[in-house]
Every structure is written in structure tokens, then in C-alpha cells.
Structure 1
């Protein structure tokens, strides 16, 4: 039985902790905050309850596997999952309004053909087929295996792009999502649908590799699920599973140094000077001083887009409304920017977009509101990270928060009837808040790892060159998002329990 210290109580870190405890190890989690969950937070006021991080669960099989492998109660016995239908509503700049069904490729094709014109749905369906090919070709090394030294296989883009005959240029193939939209989808609304999906993951469609096509494929194949009571309930269930497996949590315990002796990690030092000895250390934290210092500054750099641009964050406005939620309201509505390329150019250059894509979340869940005469609504937009220089926005500057919140609320008024008159109060959360709460540089939200671009969108491996030190969470292989972070926990546990013989999750 080894002593293991896990730094951070985010979802990936807790997944590693629970799995390691089941394997018989003595696990201690040191978390600088006073609670668990990392970016999966909650805000409560006057009977209103809001998620402050992810609002939907995708690839629930990852969480199901965690609960199967760590105890008797299944995921569905621990939380209630509701499949969201429609999966999403999309309102485009020309006024086209489309509701896409959940987990039904044929249904999506039919809806798009009806709303956008004959052939549009078929083109989207064929594109999803190519996204499936990209997923099948990269799934195992990208998501289910440790990042081996021969990772360059992931440097090649697995998306089977169509060959396009371009005037005076010969045959060409799409290498980015923007080119897929222009050359293969051939409809500005389908292109906006694809671009909006990429942006929601923090990716720039102008530079994101074509392999990112697997993201909409995953959404529309495996579906979108809402955790009753909010995503924080999932964090609670994972935390309680850790407690049931005798994982010890130390909250308010900031780790300031990873202790090294004879070329191996041997524990951590807390801000109050306390030493916590360990045989293994799992760093479930954002890139920064801790791991970089332990590795002499190497191997702890967050990913960048192919052109070196920043990793964006999320701007969120929580709205408490009087009046009941209308019966036909979609859980998730995406209001697409009238100029998606201009929006991406602003965000990834570190500026605020004048006309952002706004996502409106309206859960039909009594647990989120004081009574049936009120409604809790969340607005989000992908924005530049927080900072005071370079490719960032100073989200703490006077008026910056309020002005941008006004823009999101004005846009949301198109799909939330009587929004201005119903508003009781609002709470604004910016990348500056994310940075303060999670330690993520600039409040950036890590996107999932992707194949292609010569490996520039891969993350640092879970095992490090310092013996006994491992990485977990959204800033380690295989990247951000609940599913990917959960897989990082499984990979770390496999590497520690099985050692060099571990070849990936089964």
C-alpha cells in the first residue's frame, strides 16, 4: 500500500483518488479551496441555484465506468440523469430557428433538411460520418491510452477530408474547421453550427484542425445529459464516492512545493509549512509553478492553438427571473453571432467581441428555482482570458463586466420572453473569477486534446520524467471537459497501479 497525495479536488483529481483508494492505496487530497469540484461550481441565492461551470454531461460512459470500478452504487443510483431533448436550439443570424433532437443522426438530418433546405441535412450527416471516422482512428491513443513517446501518430490529422477542386489551385482538402464549413458544408448556417461548437470548447475554428469534427459527432451520437439538481450534484457524488473509499480530504490546504529526494517525488509542502510525505504525488492543478518547478520548468505549458493564440475563458451571467419558464423552452439555445469569423478573431486576439455567440441555458428543474413562479437562466459566451497585458482582457476593469453582461442579456432577450421585465437580479462571473477560484492562468478553460497540427493541441503526459510525479485533470492528457478529465484520472490510476505494463483503459 502506497501513500499518495493528490493536489487539487477537481473532477479528474477526484477520479484518480477514488480509483487509487479502491486499489488499496492510502490517498490524501490537498485542496487550497474550501470545497471540492474545481471548475464544477455552484452559485445559490434567494432559492435560485446555478451551475458556474459545465451545464451538460457528454460521454457519460466515462462517469459510469468510474462508479462501476469504485463501488456498488452505479452512476444512475448516485445522481439522476435526464437526456435533454431537444439537444439544442440554434438561432442563426438570418432568423433561421432549428431544434436538433438528441442522439438521433437521422433526426438531425431531417430537421436540417426541413429548416435549411433539401440537401443541407444530408451534407451535415455525411460530415458527421467523417467525424466518426476521425473518432474511430484517434479514439484509443487520444482518450484511452497514456501519451506514449511515439505520440507523433497523433500529430497527423485523422479527418478524411474531401478533395476539393479549386480553380487554378488544383485539388485541395480542408485542414481546419473553417475550411470544412466553406468547402464541405457549403451553407453559412451549417458553417456557423460547426464554428459555434468549436468555440464552445474554446477552439478557434479558423485554426482548429479538421479532426475537431469528432466533437459535434460525439455530441450528436452519444447525446447530452442534464444532472438533476445541476452538475454540482455529479461533483458531490464523486466526492462522496471518494469518502466511501476512505480518501482523506484536506481543504484550505494550499500546496506550495512538490518535495523531491534522490530524483523522485516524496511528498508535498503546504503553505503553513506542513510536510505531507508520499510515495506518489498526483498533480491535478492548472499549469504553473508547482509542476514546472518540480520539472525544472519543463513540460508544464498549456496548449495553444495552431497559431499560438491564447486559451479563452468563459463569461457567464446568472439571471434570476420572476415568472414561470415557458413550457416549450429548450434547455440549451445557441444564439449565433452574425459574424463568426470576426468573433473568433477578436476572442483569440485578446479582445471582446462586439457580437458574441451566446448560449442560453434554461433547465426545467424545480431544484434550480424557489418555486414554479420563477426561473433560473444562465448565459455564457467564450471570451479572451483575464489579464492586464498581451492577448487578454482586464475583466476587473471598471465597467467591463457590466457592459459585456448587458450585451449578453440584450441578445438573450430574443429567446427569453419578457426578459428585461422579469429580471430580479443578475450575477456576473468572468475569467478573473475563474482564475481566482481554480488557479487556471487567466481563467482559461482547457479544451479537449486533438490530433493533428503536429501535436500542438496535445497536453503534457500523465507520467512525468520525475519518478513518482503524475498529472491529472483538464490540463493534462487527454485535456479539458468532464469526460476527458475523468479519463485522465483513470489513466493516472492505471499507471500507478499497473506501472510500465499499463496500456490503457479497457
Structure 2
């Protein structure tokens, strides 16, 4: 079969490699001039910037996809050039519970052995079938899966994440470091189900990695292997429609956006609209784009979903000498405000009730801490990587708070940087701003309500209750990516690509 894949993010490239390994032909069609999607790397004014994902967890999933496409482990390790991120996170806290301001490094400063054993047990019980496997309802109709479900329930998977952490962890700082991942799930820790402790386990228990050349290196190596294995990757091509009949996709129409801008060799085609015939299609774009493409073929619109909060992300060039005197020296620093429950309430509120954080918490990312200020090919003075700082400020999505980000975005970023400067990040407010992404920018990229975190992982939007990978009414179309099972993040994206490959060939 010849399968078309819409989107060259991690889920699309994972699907392509697994399909190639199963003996099928693939063509990946990507609107951008580069691969990676929400896990790409861009060069801006001489600096490498990761606009989306900033670290890699569970790298074995990348190795598995590359192996399916024919790249052996040693060659893959050499091409990816992954570096361990130590510590995985630093948490910086104001005065809390009578304690002075402090810094907690994860995992080294966590003395929570009982909780870590519980997280490991939750991960072991959930991963094989309910994260890494097909989560359709029918997959639970056998004794082995029912037994696994029973174990999850006995472990307290349906209780709140906050409850399970509080009963095993006394240190309020450690509690935050073990529950902030609920932001990725799109709900407050008190509302998130405890099964999402598996996200914390991926970060804290399984380790964190970073490619020396930036997060986009993962996607570029995967795309290179797609080509080496005989697949095609068309960059700068926007899919404008699907062709089909009798409940099946027969191909797609794609418009060249740049006559090959940013591509080379087999990736170049002439400008204009191209009709590409396929035996099936994998769609990895977010819901607004996917639903628009499926609607003319009778694809039924999904039920209304609750969406995750969004974020404002600013990428800066800050003098490395100033950074040397900052409060932490970590790749990832979570700089917390005193508020916690109130912060989640503000950014996760329902339609029209969201608010900007009144006592903000931020994620400060500094890749130079891991790569030592130099890329594999050049020194820090040639590339400038040693000075790049990224700041993520969680905020409500556009449904929760329909703010005019095009008008307020610059002022909000300045307020964020002034706040961090007052907290000890001297000089961050005078750094050169390289790029800013707000909910308005995410929305223009086709993301629902301007959130890069897709549908929230509420109980009704988890596992078999999340949007299914198979498209009702269209026999040979399947979904991959954060809108479908298993959800948001780098490991789920890679898993969803493999599951999509298995689903499209089974159909």
C-alpha cells in the first residue's frame, strides 16, 4: 500500500517509519519548510531555538521507530547525539510553610522512595496496554486487560493526583515537583486522575535527554531515515483537500507554498497544486485542520472537548556572563510563585472565566547548561547557543479567556521578564527577544483555541474516551498526534504514530 501522511511532526514520522518497516510505501506531506512540528528547532538570528518541546523522555521510542525504518541502534545513537539532562528539573520556591526561599533539584533532592515505588507500579500497570497499546473499548474485553484495569484501580488510579502525592509526600516543595506535570494533562493536580503520575515517572523516574543540536535533531534524523528507506518527504506543501469515494480516501491535493523553499533533492517539486493518489491516509494535524479535511468525505465532527490551557513562550538572547549569576544553573528551572491552587484555577477555568496568573510560575529553559554552550559542529561564539533562554508562562486558552494577544502580547512578555528580573534573573529583561509565541500564534498554526497542548486529559477524555484513532465513516483514514490516544507529549506522539501505522494496515 501507498500511505499518505499529513504532517512531519514526531507522530507522522513515527508512523512513516513503522509503515516502511512493514513493507509499505509512504509520502509525508508537511506545510512547513522543515520537519519537527511541535518538536522542531529553528535558527533565528544565528541562534538555535526550540519553539516547542524542550527535552526528550523515553528515547527508546525514537530508537524503536528508527529501527523499524532500518537504522540500527549504534548508528541512531551516533546521529541523535543525546546528552543526559541533570538535574531533570530545578524547582525554585519562595518562602513556603515557614521555610525560607529554596531550590530543589529533581530527582536528586527528592527523598520520596515510597512515592517513587508507587509511581513505578502505576507506570508498569498502565503502560503496555493503556498507553502503548490500542485503547479502543474492545481491547478491554479480555481477562488480562480486565486484570490490569483492576490493578490500576487498586493502586488508586481514579483518585486525584494531588491526593495520592499528599498521602506519601510531606515536603510541600516535593509535592509541587511531582504534580506540576498535571499542566500537560490540562487540569489542576486536584482534578487530574492519579494515573497521570505516569507523566511524572517519565520525567523523574526514567530520565531526561537533550540532543546536542537541539530538539529538532530527533525529527531530522527520523526524516532522513524515511528517505533512506525509500519514503518521500514533501516540505512546504499544504494539504488543501482529500479525495475519496464510497467511504474511502483515494488521495489528496497539496499546494506548493514555496516551490521547494527549504528543501533539496527529491523534496523539490514545481509550484502549483498536486494530486497524490493513496491507499490510505494518516492525519496528524490538530483538530481544526483535520476536521476541515475530513468533513467533505463524511467524516463526523467529534463531540465538543475540553481543551488544555495554553502558554506564552518567549525566546531570548541573554548575556551568558549574567546567566552565570542566576539563582539556578539548570537546563529546566520551574520558578514558582507562592500561589498554587489559585494559579491552576486561573488558567484552567471554563469558557470565558480564565485569567492570567496573578502570582505567576514560569518554566525557564537554558539548553547551554546541558550542551556546554557549543554545538557538535561549532563553538559557542559561532552559534550563540550559550546565550539562548526560553521562558514559558502558562495562560488560559482562547476559549477560557478570549484575550487580544496580538495587542497585549509584547507588554505581557515584558511584565514576565520584569518579574523574573526581580526574582534574581538579572539582565533577563534587557535580553534581545528572538521570538514570542502566544495563543494567537498557536491558533494561526491550526491549534484548537490557541493551545499547543490539545484536549485536556480529563477522565472523560482519557484512554478509550479520548478521540479514537480510527475515523468513523472513512475506512482507510486514521489519526495520530496529541488530539488522539495516548495524548500530549513527545512519548505519546511517537506511540500514536506507531499505533496509527498498525491501524491503517489492519484496515
TM-score normalised per structure 1? 0.82
Residue 413 of structure 2 corresponds to residue 409 of structure 1 = no
Q: Which moved more, 1:184-193 or 1:261-270?
A: 184-193
C-alpha contact (below 8 Å) 1:196/1:336 kept by paired residues:
no
* Residue matched to 1:477: 485
Q: Name the CA distance, whole Å, in 2 between partners of 1:404 and 1:458.
A: 36
Matched residues in 2 for 1:447 and 1:159: separation? Answer: 26
**Counterpart check, 1:326 vs 2:324:** yes
Structure 2 distance, partners of 1:15, 1:33, is: 18
1:288-333 deviation digits (Å, cap 9, x = unpaired):
32365167453645753xxxxx312221111101233529711111
CA offset at residue 412 of structure 1? 3.2
Q: Is the 8 A contact 1:319 1:377 kept in 2?
A: yes
Give the Å deviation of 1:15.
1.2
Distance 1:485 1:323 in 2: 34
- 8 A contact 1:21–1:245 mirrored in 2: yes
CA displacement, residues 192-241 of structure 1 (integer Å, 9 cap, x when unaligned): 22332222554322311111112112212210001112101112111111
Matches within 5 A, 1:161-310: 175-270=159-254, 274-288=274-288, 289-290=291-292, 292-293=294-295, 296=298, 298=300, 300=302, 303-304=305-306, 310=307
Displacement of 1:454 in angstroms is: 7.9
CA distance in 1, matches of 2:153, 2:210: 30
Tell whether the 8 Å contact from 1:28 to 1:248 is kept in structure 2 after alignment: yes
Seen in structure 2, the aligned counterparts of structure 1 residues 470 and 421 have a Cα distance that, compared at 3 Å, is: closer
CA distance in 2, matches of 1:61, 1:451: 27
Q: Determine the structure 1 residue equivalent to 2:394.
A: 382
Q: Structure 1 residues 303 and 125 mapped into 2: Cα distance closer, same or farther (>3 Å)? A: farther
Distance 1:199 1:480 in 2: 11
Q: How does 1:345-384 map to 2 (within 5 A)?
A: 345-349=345-349, 350-364=354-368, 365=371, 366-367=373-374, 370=381, 375-384=387-396
Match of 2:447 among 434, 440, 447: 440
SS in 2 for 1:196: coil
CA distance in 1, matches of 2:36, 2:29: 13
SS at match of 1:343: helix
Deviation at 1:414, TM superposition (A): 6.1
Shift in Å, 1:90: 0.7
CA distance in 2, matches of 1:467, 1:227: 38
Contact 1:360–1:412 at 8 Å: present in 2 too?
no
Give 1:156 deviation, angstroms.
Answer: 8.0
Match of 2:308 among 297, 307, 311: 311
1:155 to 1:298, Cα distance in 2 relative to 1, 3 A: farther
8 A Cα contact 1:318 1:428, kept in partner: yes
Aligned to 1:158: 152
Deviation, structure 1 residue 48: 1.9
Question: Is the Cα contact below 8 Å between 1:156 and 1:452 reproduced in 2?
Answer: no
**Alignment of 1:100 onto 2:100:** no
SS in 1 for 2:90: strand
Q: Which residue of 2 aligns with 1:488?
A: 496
Aligned to 1:24: 23
2 CA distance for matches of 1:319 and 1:159?
Answer: 45
**Which residue in the other structure is 2:265 paired with?**
none
Q: Which residue of 2 aligns with 1:503?
A: none
C-alpha displacement at 1:53, in angstroms?
Answer: 0.6
Indicate the SS of the match to 2:179.
helix
Q: Helix, strand or coil for the counterpart of 2:287? A: coil
Residues 1:422 and 1:445: Cα distance change in structure 2 (over 3 Å): closer
Q: Do the aligned partners of residues 336 and 159 (structure 1) sit closer, same or farther apart at CA in structure 2, a change above 3 Å counting? A: farther
Distance 1:302 1:96, change over 3 A: farther
In 1, Cα distance between equivalents of 2:447 and 2:38:
10
Q: 1:72 to 1:373 in 2, by over 3 A?
A: closer
Cα deviation for residue 58 of structure 1 reads 0.3
In structure 2, do the counterparts of structure 1 residues 428 and 337 end up closer, same or farther at CA, with 3 Å as the change threshold?
same
Q: Secondary structure at the match of 2:359?
A: coil
Cα–Cα, structure 1 residues 458 and 445, in superposed 2: closer, same or farther, change >3 Å? farther
Question: Residues 446 and 300 (structure 1 numbering): CA distance in 2 closer, same or farther, change over 3 Å?
Answer: farther
Call closer, same or farther: CA 1:416–1:360 in 2, change over 3 Å: farther
Matched, 1:77 2:81: no
Contact residue 256 and residue 290 of structure 1 kept, 8 A: no
**2:403 alignment counterpart:** 394
Moved more, 333-342 or 442-451: 442-451
User: How many residues are aligned here?
Assistant: 460
Match of 1:335 in 2: 335
Which residue is 2:268 aligned to?
A: none
Contact preservation (8 Å) 2:3, 2:25: yes
1:72-104: CA deviation from partner (whole Å, max 9, x where unpaired): 343312111111111111112211211124xxx
